[in-house]
Structure 1
């Protein structure tokens, strides 16, 4: 858990990612009760992330790297300590891009193969396939919500066809910015439904985390700018509240 937190906050990311890629399967394989089908994509993704530069932004490593650039360190040991590149940039960029493309292809294969297997079944073609997993007591985290879903024939049919088509055309939908938004929102809805209605949150979170590589840099910058603006507004309101409180105390004082 500590290694997972370190990877999340971006502390010594390449090393902790490698430890997580080894430690997580070692933990899961000790008992079948700990794992599910989401572990396969997690293992593949973590191995590929070892070769990626995942700590360039929004990480503790990026802060430490900025301090190293200010000090202009040159020795190999100090550059490693501050997280500065030691290998040539063309090599690290090549490894990063190759691993990123490999992860994207893995997701394309997973979604496309899943959709093609679904369309071969009569239940998926008839639009009734989701009835059976939603009706199973073992999958029902919220039984009342599941019953509400599978009792509505129209919703059940639409959700069944939606899950097939959003996976089948996911790779093609990423070509254009407009259809890419539809594809990503569709995946968020599908995996959110799997997490809530079928009790598989870890699988859904893993898939959504890897789907995030298809979100454009422009969107991430927009999100970062809005978060920073929100933080500034909160600080200003807190500061104004402290000033007004100070004025009240001075007016009501002896």
Structure 2
């Protein structure tokens, strides 16, 4: 009983935070996210206006930078280490943070009179932000995400094998020697018939009979197209190609027709 009492987790031993801490974390994160987005929007809007965008297009700059930072951060956090596109997403997340910081700093410097906003380099860099963000987001979208299959293996219990001594059977007298058997003469091999088709397109249709059914026109047309023979008329498929195959192997014509709604 004493061991069980000591091993029971206490509600205040740090294993689970108190309710007010959990509430502050749950409610505080979206509140802080909303507040920071609202506070960042005027500076990013101001930089867009300095670069020459007019209303309402200048309002797209805050949304572009915020969405870009969020998408790049999520991709960088969810892709496993060494996966393709993870390093690019990490660079994008860092680049988005630098853009957001630079937009705030430049906007406040210009607004307080410490910096002239009508500068060519500032306008050029700001103008490149939307196409650069779009190009990198398309790159992340085109990069395949690795799919991990959860392991379904179950640890089997270890069974210890106990070996018990086995009584030895009494020795039997040696058997009399038998005359060596002569090797049997090998059966005479039957020659394998090799079929040479007059129409080389028959080679693309013959494997369809391996399913135990007589292939239809649609299946034969698809097989010819996949083999690079192009479009072939239905009458040629049935009257020439299939007829030559079944002429060489008459038993194939007796197979039941293939189902799946294909024309015989």
TM-score per shorter chain, which class? under 0.3
Looking at CA atoms only, which structure, 1 or 2, has the larger radius of gyration?
A: 2
TM-score relative to the length of structure 2: 0.22
Structure 1 or 2: larger helix share?
A: 1
Query: With CA pairs under 8 Å and 6+ residues apart, which has the higher RCO, 1 or 2?
Result: 1
TM-score relative to the length of structure 1: 0.22
